[in-house]
Chains A and B, each alone.
Chain A
């Protein structure tokens, strides 16, 4: 019966790990071809590891060239029948997949976090729900294609090869497969080397949904499997999400061939803070823009453009806010920033950050206890950055934000557009007419006004310039997978 004494309080959150014991993971996954899991042709199995602990999670079969050939053949055989189904029936398969993702949601979220290192809160609240939503959305287009592209008759392209990255493994698979299948194409999915698990679990879901064999095949492996897929005869279209460098290679490899192509590549997106912004919410937008998913986001707001009149205030608030970020065990429900996806990616980040310091920018990283094992990088802020610095030009793909200042709206636009990339941008101002005018002037495929990193199956996403071409989401996301007959 005492009054709490007025001494200084420390109230920490206790560990709050999500339980992983309900997750049904196999010890070993084969490649998924023509509706069946099977040993890869050359028998090569490689462990997929948890980047937070460096422990192996499961063994995964890596596809070789002959697996690719088999998958393409199975897709070709299945395609006519699949396209011949009434749209509603194709839609029903997609509805089944969406439902099954919802039913297995927690299991998929845990697997995604184990395999890729992102916080459970994100895989649970963003990745998995959005993946289900994409399947739902495109299920509903399957019998309404003519309305989506304003045509009297449309036809699918045929067999599509789809290569997805490691930052949103299941979500990117959903972004690719859902529209492709809705339109009557069959698909071969090549998940990223370090994150094959949820794609393989999607293979199990596809079996449970009784999707006709051959409609979807899933081929884990390294870059060579993707390269083989790109060059396979019998492919009508390639969809790729990943780095601009690899995107360039793919585009070159398809030169002279009549193969459809869409690319969703890198970015160095600017988050622009005007002096009349709702500042506290802008700070959240900045944090969300660059520290969400450890900055492993193609559209990450990695350049922070602050109007000089509020520079000190914004940087002060941002730095204080960064100090509250909880970095650590991705399976802990209170973790804000998880592990870096791989040793290679960590090295790339460290190299560029070192370059930033060498070039004279001023670096601050938050003080946080990083675990012994695993790949980690403390959220970092660079000030005194010049537009020519490498950290202002090149994509770091990590939890590192570079601050630049501007004086006028015209300067902000100019600086933002002065980039080979053009994926996204953020505009923070309380004045609607300014927000719309700046949005119109920016060379960016996605412009977030007074928010950042919001995604929806109905809202088209994609880049300008070297951030790629083609759009995913909404009716615009149907076009890459159809041709208009009349």
Chain B
């Protein structure tokens, strides 16, 4: 079956995304936006050097990002490798912060389907409530859409009650046409969320990529009535970038989407910038790194 790509104009996309970056978010809107952004964070650590101790620190930060600012909410989830899901689960039990795990041979996904499914099962068994899988770019770039979808369906099956985020790894797909196409494939295959990137290869959730995926989500929802969530991961490292993503969501999908059920930001260092910017709105002072604990 020969693939039919949709038409997405890159220059137009990037103009619109940049224009929305000019929205001026001040005072109360900024504070509310920052609190919203924090509530949508999937606080992430995906390093070879991760250990139980590191994950426990991260979970503490996730539950209470800023002890000195009580109105800052908990984040939405903590995202780790499958081997550390158990540690996270224990640390987050009863807090309302969810445990997300990457799976399917993250980040490159260059393992057999069996290995991907086993990886998923292990994570779910260890207590993951959310699974972030990677699509097979190897299959996608070879034009094998059916195989790409087949894998997603199989992983979704292994998720059980856990919800599934499908990572497209947009920087590897080639063009915005391909990003839109992959978004549709993932949604049609049953993903609960579509996610931009692994954060491990190339550009992440650029404004243009986010806009294209949000438009795909909107069109899919209009067509089928099913709501699929969006996760921006990779490259969202400042408060300004986070708020820009919120603006993109607000002006493409509407305010009803500004909720952790439908929107997540996968990041780590952005949290402290969000806290510093929040503190500035209160005190009027530009902050410094030492104002908040790193973990």
Interface string of A244-277 (1 = CB under 8 A from B): 0000000000000000000000000000000011
Q: Is the CB of B11 within 8 A of A451?
A: yes
Assuming the A-B contacts A16-B24, A121-B22, are A1 and B7 also in contact, with contact meaning beta carbons closer than 8 angstroms in the complex? no
List CB contacts (< 8 Å) of B225-266 with chain A: 246, 250-251, 255-256, 258-261
List the A side residues contacting B74 at CB < 8 Å.
Answer: 1-3
Assuming the A-B contacts A6-B261, A281-B16, A284-B12, are A11 and B36 also in contact, with contact meaning beta carbons closer than 8 angstroms in the complex? yes
Q: Could you say which interface size class chain A belongs to?
A: 20 to 34
- For residue B26, CB closer than 8 A to chain A, the reply is yes
Q: Is the CB of B36 within 8 A of A1?
A: no
- For residue B143, CB closer than 8 A to chain A, the reply is no
List CB contacts (< 8 Å) of B1-50 with chain A: 6-9, 11-13, 15-16, 22-30, 32-33, 35-36, 39
Distance in angstroms between the alpha carbons of A336 and B174 in the assembled complex = 33
Distance in angstroms between the alpha carbons of A461 and B173 in the assembled complex = 38
List the B side residues contacting A125 at CB < 8 Å.
Answer: 22
In the complex, the number of residue pairs spanning A and B with C-beta atoms less than 8 Å apart equals 93
Please name the residue on chain B nearest to A276 by beta carbon: B7
| Listed residue (B246, B259, B261) with the most chain A CB atoms within 10 angstroms of its CB | B259
- For residue B124, CB closer than 8 A to chain A, the reply is no
List the B side residues contacting A11 at CB < 8 Å.
Answer: 29, 32-33, 36, 246, 250, 255, 258
- For residue A8, CB closer than 8 A to chain B, the reply is yes
Q: In whole Å, how far is A411's beta carbon from the nearest beta carbon of chain B?
A: 22
Q: Is the CB of B23 within 8 A of A14?
A: no
Q: Is the CB of A13 within 8 A of B261?
A: no
List the B side residues contacting A280 at CB < 8 Å.
Answer: 8, 12-13, 215
Please name the residue on chain A nearest to B15 by beta carbon: A284
Q: In whole Å, how far is A169's beta carbon from the nearest beta carbon of chain B?
A: 23
Please name the residue on chain A nearest to B70 by beta carbon: A1
Distance in angstroms between the alpha carbons of A8 and B97 in the assembled complex = 20
List the B side residues contacting A277 at CB < 8 Å.
Answer: 7
- For residue A388, CB closer than 8 A to chain B, the reply is no
Distance in angstroms between the alpha carbons of A279 and B6 in the assembled complex = 10
- For residue B203, CB closer than 8 A to chain A, the reply is no
List the A side residues contacting B261 at CB < 8 Å.
Answer: 6
- For residue A485, CB closer than 8 A to chain B, the reply is no
Q: Is the CB of A278 within 8 A of B36?
A: no
Distance in angstroms between the alpha carbons of A14 and B251 in the assembled complex = 15
- For residue B164, CB closer than 8 A to chain A, the reply is no
Q: Is the CB of B63 within 8 A of A1?
A: yes
Q: Is the CB of B9 within 8 A of A13?
A: no
Q: In whole Å, how far is B77's beta carbon from the nearest beta carbon of chain A?
A: 11
Main secondary structure of the interface of A (DSSP, over half): loop
- For residue A193, CB closer than 8 A to chain B, the reply is no
List the B side residues contacting A282 at CB < 8 Å.
Answer: 12
- For residue A407, CB closer than 8 A to chain B, the reply is no
Interface string of A1-28 (1 = CB under 8 A from B): 1111010111111111000000000000
List the A side residues contacting B160 at CB < 8 Å.
Answer: none
Q: Is the CB of B24 within 8 A of A13?
A: yes
Q: In whole Å, how far is B18's beta carbon from the nearest beta carbon of chain A?
A: 10
Please name the residue on chain A nearest to B40 by beta carbon: A4
Q: Is the CB of B251 within 8 A of A324?
A: yes
- For residue A334, CB closer than 8 A to chain B, the reply is yes
Distance in angstroms between the alpha carbons of A36 and B16 in the assembled complex = 44
- For residue A285, CB closer than 8 A to chain B, the reply is yes
Assuming the A-B contacts A9-B259, A11-B32, are A278 and B73 also in contact, with contact meaning beta carbons closer than 8 angstroms in the complex? no
List the A side residues contacting B202 at CB < 8 Å.
Answer: none
- For residue A144, CB closer than 8 A to chain B, the reply is no
Q: Is the CB of A278 within 8 A of B7?
A: yes
- For residue A450, CB closer than 8 A to chain B, the reply is yes
Please name the residue on chain A nearest to B13 by beta carbon: A281
Q: In whole Å, how far is A424's beta carbon from the nearest beta carbon of chain B?
A: 17
Assuming the A-B contacts A11-B29, A284-B15, are A4 and B9 also in contact, with contact meaning beta carbons closer than 8 angstroms in the complex? no
Q: In whole Å, how far is A77's beta carbon from the nearest beta carbon of chain B?
A: 47
Distance in angstroms between the alpha carbons of A15 and B256 in the assembled complex = 21
List CB contacts (< 8 Å) of A125-170 with chain B: 125
Partner of A450, one of B11, B28, B35, B255: B11
- For residue A430, CB closer than 8 A to chain B, the reply is yes
Interface string of B254-284 (1 = CB under 8 A from A): 0110111100000000000000000000000
Could you name 21 residue pairs across A and B whose Cβ atoms are closer than 8 Å? A1-B72, A4-B35, A4-B36, A4-B73, A4-B259, A8-B256, A10-B255, A11-B29, A11-B36, A11-B255, A13-B23, A13-B26, A14-B28, A121-B22, A277-B7, A278-B8, A278-B12, A284-B15, A324-B251, A333-B22, A333-B24
Given A12-B29, A278-B7, A279-B7, 17 additional A-B pairs, CB 8 A: A1-B63, A1-B64, A1-B74, A2-B74, A3-B97, A4-B39, A8-B255, A10-B255, A11-B33, A13-B25, A14-B25, A281-B9, A333-B23, A334-B23, A430-B7, A450-B11, A451-B12
> Which residues does B use to contact A, with CB under 8 Å?
6-9, 11-13, 15-16, 22-30, 32-33, 35-36, 39, 63-64, 70, 72-74, 76, 96-97, 215, 246, 250-251, 255-256, 258-261
Sorted nearest first, the 9 A-B pairs with minimum C-beta distance are A281-B12, A16-B24, A278-B9, A14-B29, A430-B7, A4-B39, A278-B7, A333-B24, A281-B9
